[in-house]
Amino acid sequence: MHADPLYGIIGHPLGHTMSPPLHNWALAQAGLPGRYEAWPTKPGQLADFMAGMRQRPISGASVTIPHKLAVMDFLDAVTDTAKSVGAVNTLHWDGDALCGHNTDAEGFAHPLLALPKTPASALVLGAGGAARAVLAGLALAGVTTVLLANRSPEKAESLAKEFGAEAVPWDDRGLVQAQLVVNTTPMGMAGEHEHASPLPEGHCLSPNQTVYDIVYNPLRTKLLRRAEDSGCPTIDGLSMFIHQAQGQFRLWTGRDFDPTGARKLLMGLLGQ
């Protein structure tokens, strides 16, 4: 008799990760057996976890900070998508081969593909790991002109070159008139950065700009509140989170879950 499938998330710290309630809800909604757990894993514990994943019957796993790059060394194969992003956020089995994939780019692109018109230009704020998925997602969505601003000009130049974008100085970010503005920095995130915005104080947004913040806790960041006050369409970070999770769920189970129901569940968890 086979044990029920086991899924989970590895990362450190995992804190209040919403992946377990989301995936367990999705399994229940689909009438599928199995459970999804949180597995806090420090960098020094990754090798042991990955060895254990091959021994224990773990059917799939989500990967978050700080393991999205390091985990690649322990895999039998990495998909082209994960290679293009330069990071893995999903582990799955292909027969006996343990594979790494990335659903962050498609998760980010999903709400853009639903817009009435694809933005012709985008300004990406930040050049960390999240920005890589965003740049790959902008390419998926068909955004042709991409500008990248980061406090470290070297990181901005390097990442822009890799993805065919153009680096602009951090101090000039308020001068860029892109149709889409994307925050990939922690500015606005619950905690020490909650009252910060990645755009300069006093910067005026135009109502024809769409503002997308991948931070989802809080749901309405300072940046999104300013955008709403300026009459801009906004996209919050739950959209990316839900659709990257849906990509994982589909890979593991062959099934989809209802994104509207997922959003309702997560907004309840966020106290919205």
CATH number for the domain running over 6-102+241-269: 3.40.50.10860
Look at residue 81 in the predicted model and tell me its pLDDT. 93
Taking CA atoms, 139 is separated from 19, 175, 186, 251, in Å, by: 26, 23, 23, 22
Copy the structure tokens of residue 238: 């739950």
Q: Catalytic site residue 68?
A: yes
Phi then psi for residue 107, to 5 deg, are: -65, -40
What span, in angstroms and rounded, lies between the C-alpha atoms of 252 and 250?
6
Look at residue 16 in the predicted model and tell me its pLDDT. 78
Q: What are the domain boundaries of the chain?
A: 6-102+241-269, 106-235
CATH number for the domain running over 106-235: 3.40.50.720
Decide if pLDDT at 1 tops 50. Answer: no
**Which residue matches tokens 């890979």?**
251
**Which residue matches tokens 């902008």?**
138
User: Exactly one of 68, 83, 155, 264 is catalytic; which is it?
Assistant: 68
CB 62 within 8 A of CB 90: yes
pTM of the predicted model, to two decimals?
0.94
Decide if pLDDT at 230 tops 70. Answer: yes
> pLDDT tens digits, residue range 205-227?
999 999 999 999 899 999 999 99
Q: How confident is the model at residue 48 (pLDDT cuts 50, 70, 90)?
A: very high
What span, in angstroms and rounded, lies between the C-alpha atoms of 64 and 71?
10
What span, in angstroms and rounded, lies between the C-alpha atoms of 7 and 39?
10
Decide if pLDDT at 39 tops 80. Answer: yes
Taking CA atoms, 210 is separated from 43, 50, 145, 220, 251, in Å, by: 37, 40, 15, 14, 30
CB 178 within 8 A of CB 199: no
Average pLDDT for 142-159:
97
